[in-house]
C-alpha cells in the first residue's frame, strides 16, 4: 500500500535527521537562544533578501497562526480571512480561543481578492454602528491555499496595496510555502513573499521537517516580548535547537527548495497518471494537492491499494478525495499509483 494521504506521512528529510544526530551531544542553551536557531535565522534572512527580518521558530501551524494573530491584533480587532481559510474552519476555534473573531470573506478556489477586501473594509467604516462591531485588524491568507491554489504576484500585490492603504498587516500562512514557490505556475520567489506582506511563515512540518515553522516578521514589526506571548500560549520549546537545527539544514544548499521542487515534479506526474486513467478532477491544483472525483464502488477497491484523504461527498455515488505528494514521494510511489488505477479502471465506470 502506497500513501498519498497527506504531506506529513513520513518523518524528516534524511539530511535533517543526520544533522540532529551529529549535533546531538552538544551542550546548548535552551528556549531558542542557541547558535543553530541564530544561524537558521540568518540563512532565512538571506534567502528572503530581507536583512531586517526578525525570525522566530514555532512548532506547528495552528500554534503559529494563533500566536502571530493574537500577538498582532488589538483587543477590538479581528482577522479577515477566506471563508474556507484554515483559521476559519480547521483550527478548532483557536483564534476565537484568543478572544478574536475571524471575519470571513467570500473566496474563489480558496483565494480572496483585493476588490472584495476593499469593499468589506469600506462598508465597515461606513457603518454608523462600527463601535459595536469587530474592527478588521489584519488580513490572513495561505500560500498555497486550502485547495492548493496560489496567488499570482499581481494578485498578491493588489491585495497588499489594499492592506497598506488601510494599515492592516498582511499575514501569509506558508505551511506549504515551498510547494507554492516551486509550482510551475508560480511567478514569485521567497523574496517576493517577504516583500509583499508584513509577516509570514515558512512551513517546516509539511516540507521535510519533523516539526517546526519559521515565522518571519519582515518590517521590523515583531511584537515586543514575543517570547512571552509564545510561553504564555504553551508554544516555547525547552530544546529550541530541535527546530533551529532543522531549519538550519533546510536552508543550507537550497535543500528546502530542492525538496519542494521534487514534490511538484511528483505532483505533475500524478496529474498525468490520473488524466491518462480518465479520472475526473474536482480541482486540479498547481501545487502538491490534487482533488479528484471517484465513483464509490471504485473507491472501495482503490483503498486496498492506496491511502488518500476523504475530502467531501460529491453526490450519492461519488466522492471527492485528496491526493498529496511531498518531499518524500518517490518514483516507485508513482508506479504503484499507476498500477492501482489500472486495476480499478475508472474509464469503465464514469
Residue 128 CB, nearest approach to a second copy (Å): 5
Q: Are 201 and 68 in contact (CB under 8 A)?
A: yes
**Which of the ranges 65-73, 183-191, 262-270, 284-292 carries the binding residues for a second copy, by CB under 8 A?**
65-73
**Which of the ranges 89-97, 260-268, 273-281, 288-296 carries the binding residues for a second copy, by CB under 8 A?**
89-97
Residue 18 CB, nearest approach to a second copy (Å): 8
Residue 20 CB, nearest approach to a second copy (Å): 6
Q: Is beta strand 77-82 parallel, antiparallel or unpaired with respect to 102-105?
A: parallel
**Which of the ranges 144-152, 205-213, 270-278, 280-288 carries the binding residues for a second copy, by CB under 8 A?**
205-213
Residue 213 CB, nearest approach to a second copy (Å): 11
**126 to 185, contacts with a second copy by CB under 8 A?**
126-129, 131-135
Residue among 316, 57, 21 at smallest CA distance from 205: 57
Nearer to a second copy, 93 or 115 (CB): 93
The mark string for 254-293 relative to a second copy (x by CB under 8 A, - otherwise) is ----------------------------------------
The answer to whether residue 335 forms part of the interface with a second copy (CB under 8 A) is no
Residue 225 CB, nearest approach to a second copy (Å): 5
Residue 133 CB, nearest approach to a second copy (Å): 6
**32 to 61, contacts with a second copy by CB under 8 A?**
59-61
**Which of the ranges 15-23, 156-164, 187-195, 247-255 carries the binding residues for a second copy, by CB under 8 A?**
15-23
The answer to whether residue 350 forms part of the interface with a second copy (CB under 8 A) is no
The answer to whether residue 310 forms part of the interface with a second copy (CB under 8 A) is yes
The answer to whether residue 238 forms part of the interface with a second copy (CB under 8 A) is yes
Residue 287 CB, nearest approach to a second copy (Å): 17
**Which of the ranges 14-22, 259-267, 283-291, 339-347 carries the binding residues for a second copy, by CB under 8 A?**
14-22
The CA distance from 197 to 185, in Å, is 20
**Which DSSP string do the residues of 41-74 spell out, in sequence order?**
HHHHHHHHT-TT-EEEEES-HHHHHHHHHHHHS-
Name 246's Cβ contacts closer than 8 Å, sequence gap at least 6. 12, 16, 19, 20, 40, 204, 209, 210, 211, 212
SS3 category, 145 = coil
SS3 category, 136 = strand
Binding a second copy (rule: CB under 8 A), the pick from 154, 164, 184, 239 is 239
Binding a second copy (rule: CB under 8 A), the pick from 46, 49, 52, 90 is 90
CA angle 194, 104, 183 (to 5 degrees): 40
Residue 40 CB, nearest approach to a second copy (Å): 16
**207 to 226, contacts with a second copy by CB under 8 A?**
210-211, 224-225
Q: Are 323 and 308 in contact (CB under 8 A)?
A: yes
The answer to whether residue 10 forms part of the interface with a second copy (CB under 8 A) is yes
Radius of gyration from C-alpha coordinates of the chain: 21
Q: Are 302 and 294 in contact (CB under 8 A)?
A: yes
The CA distance from 134 to 141, in Å, is 19
Name 26's Cβ contacts closer than 8 Å, sequence gap at least 6. none
Residue 195 CB, nearest approach to a second copy (Å): 28
The answer to whether residue 331 forms part of the interface with a second copy (CB under 8 A) is no
The CA distance from 85 to 278, in Å, is 30
Q: Are 174 and 180 in contact (CB under 8 A)?
A: yes
| Biggest alpha carbon–alpha carbon distance for the chain | 63
- Percent composition of the chain: helix, strand, coil (DSSP 3-state, to 5): 40, 20, 40
**Which of the ranges 163-171, 234-242, 277-285, 297-305 carries the binding residues for a second copy, by CB under 8 A?**
234-242
Amino acid at each position: 500500500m502506497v500513501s498519498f494521504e497527506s504531506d506529513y506521512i513520513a518523518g524528516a528529510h534524511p539530511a535533517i535527521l543526520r544533522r540532529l544526530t551529529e549535533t546531538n551531544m552538544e551542550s546548548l542553551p535552551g528556549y531558542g537562544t542557541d547558535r543553530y536557531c541564530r544561524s537558521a535565522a540568518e540563512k532565512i534572512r538571506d534567502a528572503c533578501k530581507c536583512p531586517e527580518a526578525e525570525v522566530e521558530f514555532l512548532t506547528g501551524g495552528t500554534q503559529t497562526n494563533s500566536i502571530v494573530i493574537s500577538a498582532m491584533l488589538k483587543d477590538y480587532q479581528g482577522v479577515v480571512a477566506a471563508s474556507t481559510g484554515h483559521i476559519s474552519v480547521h483550527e478548532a476555534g483557536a483564534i476565537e480561543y484568543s478572544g478574536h473573531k475571524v471575519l470571513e470573506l467570500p473566496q474563489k478556489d480558496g483565494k480572496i481578492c483585493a476588490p472584495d477586501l476593499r469593499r468589506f473594509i469600506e462598508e465597515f467604516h461606513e457603518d454608523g454602528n462600527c463601535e459595536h462591531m469587530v474592527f478588521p485588524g489584519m488580513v490572513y491568507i495561505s500560500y498555497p491555499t486550502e485547495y492548493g491554489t496560489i496567488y499570482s504576484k499581481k494578485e498578491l500585490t493588489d491585495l497588499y496595496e489594499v492592506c497598506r492603504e488601510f494599515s492592516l498587516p498582511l499575514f501569509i500562512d506558508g505551511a506549504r510555502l515551498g510547494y507554492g514557490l516551486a509550482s510551475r505556475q508560480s511567478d514569485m520567489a521567497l523574496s517576493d513573499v517577504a516583500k509583499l506582506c508584513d509577516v509570514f511563515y515558512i512551513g517546516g512540518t509539511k516540507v521535510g521537517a519533523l516539526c517546526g515553522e519559521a515565522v518571519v516578521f519582515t518590517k521590523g514589526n515583531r511584537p515586543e516580548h514575543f517570547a512571552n506571548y509564545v510561553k504564555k500560549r504553551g508554544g516555547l520549546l525547552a530544546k529550541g535547537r530541535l527546530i533551529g537545527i532543522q531549519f538550519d539544514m533546510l536552508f543550507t544548499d537550497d535543500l528546502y527548495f530542492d525538496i519542494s521542487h521534487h514534490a511538484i515534479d511528483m505532483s505533475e506526474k500524478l496529474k498525468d497518471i490520473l488524466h491518462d486513467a480518465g479520472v475526473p478532477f474536482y480541482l486540479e491544483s498547481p501545487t502538491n494537492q490534487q482533488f479528484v472525483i471517484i465513483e464509490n464502488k471504485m473507491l472501495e477497491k482503490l483503498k486496498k491499494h492506496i491511502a488518500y484523504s476523504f475530502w467531501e461527498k460529491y453526490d450519492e455515488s461519488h466522492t471527492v478525495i485528496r491526493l498529496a505528494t511531498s518531499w518524500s514521494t518517490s518514483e516507485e510511489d508513482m508506479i504503484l499509483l499507476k498500477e492501482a488505477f489500472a486495476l480499478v479502471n475508472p474509464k469503465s465506470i464514469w
